[in-house]
Amino acid sequence: MDTIFNTAQLRKIVAQWRRNGERIAFVPTMGNLHDGHISLLKHARGMADRTVVSIFVNPIQFGKGEDYATYPSTLEADQDKLTRIGLDVLFAPNLKELYPGGMEEDTRVTVPSLSNILCGEYRPGHFTGVATVVTKLFFSVQPDYALFGEKDLQQLMVIRRMVDDLCIPIEIVGKPIIREADGLAMSSRNSYLNDDERTIAPIIHQTLKRASTAANVPNADFREIEASCFARLKESGFKPEYFSIRRSSDLMEATLGDRELSILTAAWLGNARLIDNIQVNVDE
């Protein structure tokens, strides 16, 4: 596996692959790789002739007071994991490569409406930061496929909308959440949990499953379910931001008659902001 730090060098390699008629799969990450990332990368390797992974901690998707300065950096350990998988290229650009005009003056990519709800309400500007950096990475890597985990469901939908709206010829592939044995969704931020918090953390998934069961009955009161589950998280030691039952197609608030639902939550536990979701197909 080659580690590339320079965009121009990456584009030369990609151009050669294109001349050879090879297809490219891409997985963007912020590093500190766990088994959820590894699962995505193995799927990517099986989809295309060439596979690229990026590691870049994107400053403009972090808000004031968030963990940009302390986000785990484990490049050498990540390189070892990636080499064992057998990928072609690790792209690890610096700030100057992706923000040549400076972060304050740089062009932004914004997906309206979808970026301002749920996590977007509590992290203003976050999804603009995500859409901007992913667009830059797409133009650098020029993949046929880009893979994202469904744990960040809202992010996945923002990127799908962006690709559709901007007519970017890339197939966006979402893959299921990878969980620990006790149900906790794998995340780099799980490392922020202390031992006591780690014991509590699986309650977030248990609560989502409870909501899934409650939503899948005739005439379910979605707002009552949301309030009950929000309260359960709070009583368990979390500081929940939201617990919401949404229509899967566009993440708008679900109402009776909606059959494909996504139940999403974000909650703080100590220094870790945990997000998770579950999909529900309501019985006829």
Q: What is the pLDDT along the chain (284 residues), one digit of tens a residue?
A: 999 999 999 999 999 999 999 999 999 999 999 999 999 999 999 999 999 999 999 999 999 889 999 998 899 999 999 999 999 999 999 999 999 988 888 999 999 999 999 999 999 999 999 999 999 999 999 999 999 999 999 999 999 999 999 999 999 999 999 999 999 999 999 999 999 999 999 999 999 999 999 999 989 999 999 999 999 999 999 999 999 999 999 999 999 899 999 999 999 999 999 999 999 999 86
Q: pLDDT tens digits for 140-199?
A: 999 999 999 999 999 999 999 999 999 999 999 999 999 999 999 999 999 999 999 999
Both tokens assigned to 56: 């870049």
Tell me, yes or no, whether 36 and 161 share the same domain. Answer: yes
Q: Which domain covers residue 74, as residue numbers?
A: 2-175
User: pTM for this one?
Assistant: 0.95
Do 18 and 100 share a domain, yes or no?
yes
Residues 158, 202 share a domain: no
Residue 284 is predicted with a pLDDT of 66
Look up 37 and say whether it is catalytic: yes
Q: Considering the domain boundaries, does residue 194 fall inside one?
A: yes
What single-letter DSSP state applies at residue 216? S
55: domain CATH number is 3.40.50.620
What is the reported pLDDT for 30?
96
Q: Which stretches does DSSP call E strand in 183-259?
A: 239-247
pLDDT value at position 172? Answer: 98
Domain co-membership, 146 together with 39: yes
- Dump the DSSP string for 181-216: TTSPBP-GGGGG--HHHHHHTTHHHHHHHHHHHHHS
Is 262 a domain residue? yes
Residue 180 is assigned to a structural domain of this protein:
no
Which of the residues 37, 43, 126, 205 is marked catalytic? 37
Are 163 and 48 part of one and the same domain?
A: yes
Q: Which residue from 89, 100, 98 is spatially nearest to 61, judged by alpha carbons?
A: 98
Domain total for the chain? 2
What pLDDT is recorded for position 157? 98
Query: Which among 121, 148, 175 is the end of a domain?
Result: 175
Q: Does 181 map to a domain?
A: no
* pLDDT on residue 198: 98
Give the whole-angstrom CA distance, residue 147 versus residue 152.
Answer: 12
Pair (46, 93) in one structural domain: yes
* Pair 211, 164 in one domain: no
* DSSP-derived 3-state class of residue 91: strand
Q: Are 131 and 109 in contact (CB under 8 A)?
A: yes
57 shares its domain with 100: yes
User: What's residue 103's pLDDT?
Assistant: 87
